Structure 1
Amino acid sequence: MSKSAEDHVDRLRAQWARELPDVDTQGMEVLGRARRITLRVRPPIEAVFSEQGLDTGEFDVIATLLRSGPPYRMRPTELFKSLMISSGGLTDRLARLTRAGLIRRSASEGDARSLPVELTEEGRSRAEAAFRADMAVEAQLLKGLSRSDRTALAALLRKLALSLELPGREE
């Protein structure tokens, strides 16, 4: 590999190979790069949400409601399971989104955990606009890969993700 084709992870691996040659650093090739890519792409993606007056967590909530389809309503328990966050974390997000007029909570007897959460028209409009802008930014971020490269990479990442989700997975 030419020096110009080396990236940060290649340089780290070379340093580790020199200092601890008995340690296999192949995991860093994938996971180290995945971490660096995530850190690099977060700011432009978060800027898209910020332009819509949202943070990433708030976008996650209204996008989940939008993806659920009409009537764009879910129970909080369904939401926090889908988002993989604590119910307390969801409560804070829901309060901010309610104040912003992006969701509404239907009144019913019982506690707030059972009150359905529903997108307002403004919430639906903002979620759709943010998602469209996010996909445009992500397409731009991936322009260095051909369509076939993106397809192959997506397939490999899916395979890795599924392997990590399997209960009692074996090496």
Structure 2
Amino acid sequence: MNGVTQDEVDRLVAAWRRERPDLDVRPLEVLSRITRLARHLDRARRTAFADHGLEPWEFDVLSALRRTGPPYQLSPGQLLTQTLVTSGTMTNRIDRLAAKGLVVRGPDPSDRRGVLVRLTDAGRELADAALVGLLKNERELLAALSPERLGELADLLRTLTLPFDTA
């Protein structure tokens, strides 16, 4: 292991190699670590959002609107595309965020039957604050890596995820 400290995945892989030497268990070395890291990331995200009174899904919708730039609005269909939920789920989410005063619905000037969902000032401020908390927690998760190694890891992960994003 070249002097690298072993983790739980190393122990799991060693056990499989012992029990099933006929199998190539190398995928476990990568994907089991990604799964474990995803669990830690989920906890970090939930903590960052809870600190601001948000659920992860609320941040997803608010941040989709915030990233669009002024006037911070999208159609429900565009929100569906960005958040990967069903139409019924999105309607419910918009209703709940509107009840909290974080978004408002308005007419779409380019389609008289259409609706646009716009981020309120309170929604923008909350999304910005939650993002700061999220990035703090995510930096802590990645603290063991230098900026160069972070770039390398981002490139490698992009290579793995790109086929799913383009499918």
Return the TM-score normalized by structure 2: 0.90
Distance 1:115 1:140 in 2: 40
TM-superposed CA distance for 1:165, in Å, is 3.8
TM-superposed CA distance for 1:40, in Å, is 1.6
Structure 2 match to 1:16 = 16
RMSD: 1.8
**Matching of residues 1-171 of structure 1 within 5 Å:** 1=1, 5-107=5-107, 110=113, 114-167=114-167
Distance 1:155 1:94 in 2: 35
Task: Report the residue type matching 1:120 in the other structure.
Answer: T
User: Which structure shows the bigger proportion of residues in strand conformation?
Assistant: 2
Q: Where in structure 1 do 4 or more consecutive aligned residues deviate above 3 Å? A: 107-110, 163-167
Name the SS for the 1:30 alignment partner. Answer: helix
Task: Report the residue type matching 1:88 in the other structure.
Answer: G
Q: Tell me: CA distance 1:3–1:163, structure 2 relative to 1, closer, same or farther (3 Å).
A: same
Distance 2:106 2:165 in 1: 35
Task: Report the residue type matching 2:75 in the other structure.
Answer: R
Task: Report the residue type matching 2:103 in the other structure.
Answer: I
TM-superposed CA distance for 1:44, in Å, is 2.3
TM-superposed CA distance for 1:86, in Å, is 1.3
Name the SS for the 1:71 alignment partner. Answer: coil
Task: Report the residue type matching 1:85 in the other structure.
Answer: V
Distance 1:3 1:16 in 2: 21
Name the SS for the 1:115 alignment partner. Answer: strand
Name the SS for the 2:53 alignment partner. Answer: coil
How many residues matched?
164
Post-superposition Cα deviations, 1:110-133, rounded to whole Å, max 9, x if no partner, equal 4xxx32110000001100111112
User: Which stretches in structure 2 are left out of the alignment for 5+ residues?
Assistant: none
Name the SS for the 1:97 alignment partner. Answer: helix
Task: Report the residue type matching 1:116 in the other structure.
Answer: L
Q: Tell me: CA distance 1:166–1:116, structure 2 relative to 1, closer, same or farther (3 Å).
A: closer
Task: Report the residue type matching 1:118 in the other structure.
Answer: R
Post-superposition Cα deviations, 1:116-164, rounded to whole Å, max 9, x if no partner, equal 1100000011001111121121112211111111111111111111144
TM-superposed CA distance for 1:57, in Å, is 0.5
